[in-house]
Chain A
Amino acid sequence: MKPLHIFLAIVLLALVPWLLDSQYVFHIATMIAIMVPMALGMNLMLRIGQLTMAMPAFMGIGAYGSALLAIRLEVPPLLALPAGALMAGVLAAAVGPVFLRIKGVYFVLLTYAFGQIINLVFQEWTGLFGGNNGLYGIPKFSLFGLRLTATPQYYLMGLLLAALVYLAVRAIERSDIGAIFQSLNENEMLSRAIGSNAMAWRIAAFTFSALAAGLSGGLYAFYIGFLSPDAFGFRLSVDLIVINAVGGVHSALGPVLGAILMVPLPEMLRDARQYQLLIYGLSLMVFLIFIRKGLASLIQRPRSAA
């Protein structure tokens, strides 16, 4: 497929909820749109060869951060959302220099532990985060005095954020930053021998991934209007890995396609509840064995190496 066709197909897919005009479809579509920035953040980390399990924590910080700014300090959601994402980004930039010294399976474990600790803070610091009872009373988004309450309005915002983060990752992938990341992943020793500050680049990618997750979290908070720590658990990391594996890691389109396919899957399998995990697992195995480079590789022709 030509890039233009892929683009048109995705635009058409994005329009489907309006064609079907169902609340339920709009909800699923919004959840997909919310998942996309985070999946793209995970994608960037996978490109530098570091599998992070900290995405749910950063999403949670974006969500709780922007929700609390809106509840406690009455910051307008339009400002609270990016501010929450910024908090996640700042935290990532602060812990990055320590975390990113570690590679491979140890990095996975470290970020997993970090995610658990952040989640525990959400659970135990009930005064601030509401604990397992959840955080209520998150105001709805308002734009120019207009209070946004309907799902399609949040869907539109989700599309906007998803498009924004997608374009950013695509710009990274096509610029020399993409080449620098790829070189670091392919041969770190060689990259460093010609002067690449591997650590600085890794911190940049990690911070970007946290910002993206924070944006997802902020939108999620204002859309759902209620936050509980279990939304930011370990399972979400696995979902993000699966989305990237199914969609394809080597292109920014991959996580987008992965999210479109994988987010609605549990819903589609709802009628077969007891077989849900089995079907999920089997289809994942089929993907990993037969379409190892992901969906994106099927419809995109590989771009020339130069």
Chain B
Amino acid sequence: METLLDVKNLTRRFGGLTAVSDVSFSVAKGEIFGIIGPNGAGKTTLFNVIAGHFKPSSGSVHLAGQDISGHASDAIARRGMARTFQSVHVFSEHSTQENLRRAHVIGRSHNPLAYFARLARPCFGCTQLPLVAQFVGLTDHLQSPAGSLAYGLQKVLGIGMAMMVSPQLLLMDEPAAGLNPSEKKAAGVLIRRLRDELGITILLVEHDMPLVMGVCDRILVINRGKPIALGTPGEVKSDKSVIEAYLGEDYEFA
């Protein structure tokens, strides 16, 4: 299978603390790949290094064969890797429709030159907006201010905004965080549809075990910054070192 994201020997140190230590994995095109680990395992740091918020101390990240290690987050996004946030990030004073439109405008007109080049072909992407809204289920909320949407819907809007820039790879930072059980279920279905219907490859970092086990093709487990297991949900669940890492924590492997 074709590799889309290739992480090699990635290490990130903060002073004397090694938050991510020598992590390697690769995500195949069309895969839903999960990263889990107990609290403080370094999941978020790993995510942030891949997304370009932190520079790696050593190691590399390749997207579709191109080296993106240490590139700025916006440069990475322009290469086709969009992300969603753990907490809600929307332009809250503007309508849902305007949020989706802006995502498109910002993504396509990433600098002044691109903006003026785009003026020649106006409304490029206009047709996409209603389709994205329908796909994520926000059609009925297009006119509402994004800040007034329920928390779950704001997270869905975040996914919609990422979709407006047509990513190859979507990085999701705890898509289930803050959602109620039925919303979590819907998030799982949406993640699967992103892959099945649109072919978007997904890398997600998550706490919620039922979601991870339910949607991921493969899972990487990290503990104290180091990878301890990699495999299908079934393999990971029965892995001795994984069980040990989670021992004493209130996790339920669904």
Contact = CB atoms under 8 A, between A and B. Distances in A.
25 contacts: A176-B105, A176-B115, A177-B112, A179-B106, A180-B105, A180-B106, A183-B106, A186-B93, A189-B73, A189-B89, A190-B89, A190-B90, A192-B74, A193-B51, A193-B74, A193-B83, A193-B85, A194-B103, A195-B107, A197-B74, A197-B111, A201-B111, A201-B112, A204-B111, A306-B94
B44 interface: no
A305 B107 contact: no
Given A179-B102, A305-B98, A194 B77 contact: yes
Interface residues of A, number: 23
Given A183-B106, A194-B162, A195-B107, A305 B94 contact: yes
B107 A177 contact: no
B194 to A, nearest CB: 16
Interface majority SS on A: helix, strand, loop or mixed?
helix
A189 B74 CA distance: 9
B81 to A, nearest CB: 10
Interface of B: 51, 72-75, 77-78, 82-83, 85, 89-91, 93-95, 97-98, 102-103, 105-107, 109-113, 115, 143, 145, 161-162, 164-165
A274 interface: no
B106 A196 contact: yes
Contacts of B161: 190, 194
Contact of A180 (B98, B109, B162): B109
Given A179-B105, A305-B93, A194 B165 contact: yes
A190 B91 contact: yes
A305 B147 CA distance: 12
A306 B98 contact: yes
B84 to A, nearest CB: 8
Given A177-B115, A180-B105, A306-B98, A195 B110 contact: yes
Given A187-B89, A190-B90, A195 B97 contact: no
A183 B107 contact: no
Nearest to A208: B112
B105 A190 contact: no
Nearest to B105: A176
A192 B95 CA distance: 20
Interface string A164-199: 000000000000110110110011011111111110
Given A183-B91, A305-B145, A192 B72 contact: yes
A95 interface: no
Contacts of A194: 77, 82, 103, 106-107, 161-162, 164-165
Contacts of A197: 74-75, 78, 110-111
Nearest to B89: A190
Contacts of B109: 176, 180
A275 to B, nearest CB: 41
A306 B145 CA distance: 9
